[in-house]
């Protein structure tokens, strides 16, 4: 058996002679060819770790929904970030500096970073807290009005603050214009139930905003999952391309040895070298795609795009079974945050109709006053007396505003009902579409893993064995190697597409893909 490590074999000039004993040993070893490649050594600097496992037990039949969904907390984890308004839990948004060392994260850790640091979620969180802060303002009583009034301006003084009845040379007995001083306090009241109902509507709208924030969180999480699995697929493709470079290095050595023994043309060695260079060029392109994907992940989770990030994950182990379509539809109709939001908006619209009908009821105003027949700064020269006043603010002008206010509220309720029905239909349709994409990706992955890749691997090994034993078919060997590389890359991408479809399916149903 011939075992190659990661280090490449140095290229020897093709005209250099090879001893017959070495050539015979090489041919014998090549006849029972097999290659073992280490997936990643301790000193390898490739980001992340992708482990290739055999078997397809992870694609078994879906278990019961009880083990998949019922054990989960019915509330989305996004709700932990949206607590009632307090000074202690008000989030602080800041920009972190770029760290010096790399950070290793798996998908669950990336979702946690997304919840805490994503600017869009932070904006929605602040909007929710702002909406909650309006509820006690609406429920608070109206501010009172305090007034101070004095009257009786004398002829000889523009303001006469207390001297209206004082004696003067022209009027020794006093008797100027009489002066009155008044202090009043007015307190308006709405008809009982109006303020509490308006505050309840504001609170319901705030909770609808919270549900919308949870839905946005799931959508951003689905985008994060797509970027994550694409990055893992790029890492797997890098591994496949490295193995392809090693296989082509072996083909080069075989062609060089045969050429030294006049058993092959030198162009075969050159063709193998060109194929190896093409594989290395593909490797460079995939490395660039991986770096772009890592930058996008950093930006999405609220980190600087140049932060060093290492992804941890096992593609084969992450592939898991999902519940049936009927179970996912039932879960989406009962627990999807978007449907919660539309239901709360419908509830607020119905309460708005009740509040609009209360506009026909009058509001109140209570006024208490104290009077004394003197100026505000003069000596007391009269008795003090008090006055109590109750005012009714009645809807007048043939109830025009109230009638159209009720009609407006009823139209809003009808629009909310139609929006709720449409939203429910769209959610169920999204679950059906995502499930169909998941089934297609699963079938494609199974077909590649169970049939095409093993067949291509066998064709390559047979071609290499025949060519190593002084047989013909160099072009067939290169074709088989290229076909094996392409199918292995396609398998890596198909596994990534399967995981992406799985994540999108769970998010479409309204839950995190864990």
- Confidence at residue 456, expressed as pLDDT on a 0 to 100 scale: 93
CB atoms within 10 A of CB 241: 22
Q: Which of 236, 393, 391 is nearest to 317 (CA)?
A: 236
- Confidence at residue 39, expressed as pLDDT on a 0 to 100 scale: 32
- 206: which 2 tokens? 């705030």
- Confidence at residue 23, expressed as pLDDT on a 0 to 100 scale: 37
Query: From first to last of its 514 residues, what are the pLDDT tens digits of the chain?
Result: 333 333 333 333 333 333 333 333 333 333 333 333 333 333 333 333 333 333 343 333 334 434 444 444 444 444 454 444 444 554 444 445 565 567 888 888 999 999 999 999 999 999 999 999 999 999 999 999 998 877 665 555 555 554 444 444 444 444 445 566 788 899 999 999 999 999 999 999 999 999 999 999 999 999 999 999 999 999 889 988 999 899 889 888 888 888 888 777 788 888 888 988 888 898 899 999 999 999 999 999 988 888 888 888 776 666 777 889 999 999 999 999 999 999 999 999 999 999 999 999 989 999 998 877 665 555 555 677 788 889 888 887 778 889 999 999 999 999 999 999 999 999 999 999 999 999 999 999 999 999 999 999 999 999 888 888 877 788 888 899 899 999 999 999 999 999 999 999 999 999 888 7
Task: Indicate the burial class of 62 (C-beta count within 10 angstroms; 0-12, 13-18, 19 or more).
Answer: middle
- Confidence at residue 156, expressed as pLDDT on a 0 to 100 scale: 56
Is 326 strand, coil or helix? helix
Q: What are phi and psi of 363, to 5 degrees?
A: -100, 170
- 71: which 2 tokens? 């054990």
d(CA 31, CA 469): 7
Contact 334, 424 (CB under 8 A): no
d(CA 85, CA 210): 13
Is 395 strand, coil or helix? coil
Q: What are phi and psi of 147, to 5 degrees?
A: -130, 145
| Distance, C-alpha 384 to centroid of its chain | 69
pLDDT digits (tens, 9 = 90+) for 455-480: 999 999 998 888 888 777 888 888 99
Contact 144, 138 (CB under 8 A): no
d(CA 511, CA 77): 9
514: CB partners within 8 A, 6+ apart: 107, 108, 111
E strands present in 357-403:
363-372, 385-393
d(CA 52, CA 73): 33
- Confidence at residue 160, expressed as pLDDT on a 0 to 100 scale: 52
């Amino acid at each position: 058996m011939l075992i190659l490590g990661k280090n490449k074999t140095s290229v020897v000039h093709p005209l250099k002679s090879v001893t017959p004993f070495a050539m015979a040993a090489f041919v014998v070893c090549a006849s029972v060819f097999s290659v073992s490649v280490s997936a990643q050594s301790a000193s390898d600097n490739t980001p992340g770790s992708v482990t290739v496992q055999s078997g397809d037990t992870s694609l078994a039949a879906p278990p019961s929904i009880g083990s998949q969904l019922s054990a989960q907390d019915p509330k989305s984890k996004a709700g932990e970030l949206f607590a009632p308004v307090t000074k202690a839990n008000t989030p602080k948004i800041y920009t972190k500096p770029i760290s010096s060392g790399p950070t290793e994260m798996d998908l669950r850790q990336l979702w946690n970073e997304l919840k805490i640091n994503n600017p869009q979620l932070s904006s929605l969180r602040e909007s929710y807290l702002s909406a909650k802060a309006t509820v006690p303002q609406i429920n608070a009583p109206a501010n009172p009005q305090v007034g101070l009034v004095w009257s009786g301006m004398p002829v000889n003084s523009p303001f006469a603050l207390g001297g209206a009845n004082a004696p003067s040379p022209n009027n020794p007995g006093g008797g100027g214009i009489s002066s009155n001083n008044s202090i009043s306090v007015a307190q308006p009241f709405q008809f009982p139930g109006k303020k509490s109902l308006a505050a309840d509507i504001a609170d319901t709208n705030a909770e609808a905003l919270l549900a919308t924030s949870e839905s946005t969180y799931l959508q951003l999480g689905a985008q994060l999952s797509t970027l994550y699995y694409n990055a893992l697929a790029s890492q797997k493709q890098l591994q496949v391309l490295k193995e392809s470079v090693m296989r082509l290095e072996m083909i080069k050595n075989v062609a060089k040895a045969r050429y030294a023994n006049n058993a092959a043309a030198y162009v075969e060695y050159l063709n193998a070298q060109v194929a190896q260079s093409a594989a290395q060029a593909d490797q460079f392109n995939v490395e660039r795609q991986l770096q772009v994907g890592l930058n996008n992940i950093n930006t999405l989770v609220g980190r600087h795009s140049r932060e060093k990030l290492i992804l941890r994950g096992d593609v084969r182990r992450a592939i898991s079974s999902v519940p049936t379509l009927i179970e996912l539809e039932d879960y989406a109709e009962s627990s999807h945050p978007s449907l919660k939001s539309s239901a709360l908006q419908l509830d607020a619209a119905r309460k708005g109709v009740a509040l609009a009908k209360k506009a026909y009821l009058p509001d109140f105003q209570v006024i208490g006053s104290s009077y004394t027949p003197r100026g505000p700064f003069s000596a007391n020269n009269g008795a003090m007396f008090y006055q109590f006043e109750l005012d009714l603010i009645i809807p007048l002008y043939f109830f025009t505003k109230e009638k159209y206010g009720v009609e407006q509220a009823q139209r809003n309720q009808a629009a909310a009902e139609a929006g709720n029905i449409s939203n429910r239909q769209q959610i169920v349709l999204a679950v059906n579409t995502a499930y169909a994409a998941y089934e297609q990706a699963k079938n494609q992955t199974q077909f590649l893993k169970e049939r095409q890749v093993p067949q291509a691997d066998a064709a390559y090994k047979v071609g290499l064995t025949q060519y190593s034993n002084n047989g013909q078919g160099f072009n067939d060997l290169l074709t088989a190697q290229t076909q094996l590389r392409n199918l292995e890359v396609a398998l890596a991408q198909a596994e990534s597409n399967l995981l992406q479809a799985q994540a999108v399916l769970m998010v479409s149903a309204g839950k995190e893909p864990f």
